[in-house]
Amino acid sequence: MTVRIWFLVLIAIALGACRQPGAIGPPAPDRVEGVILEIDAESLGEVRSFTLKDGDNVYEIFIADDVEYGFPLGHLQEHLSSNEPVVVDLEEREDDKLYAVTIEDP
């Protein structure tokens, strides 16, 4: 009986080591490819975040103030309208949100 308890404790510790403190759920992927479902924007060029569907997974991805994406972010609206996919490299920051490091056409 005690061996089983120790085994369960070791599994819990190992699983807990896979995530940062306070994080819930599986680790965020480094890269996703999918279609944009929704864009949260102040205006066409001032995108705050967008929702991306990659297979069965849906991610809310935030725009980082410190990243130059190389194109006007209003272009994401074209991907939303056309259902053309995008490829996004991601970074999970201290606020437990996913931020786009790059956004590209596949």
The pLDDT tens digits for 24-54 are: 456 789 999 999 999 999 887 799 999 999 9
Percent of the chain with pLDDT over 90: 64
Q: How far apart are CA 68 and CA 83, in angstroms?
A: 24
With residue 11 as reference, give the H or E element that holds it: helix 2-17
Stated pTM of the model: 0.74
Nearest-10 Cα torsion for 18, 20, 25, 27: -60
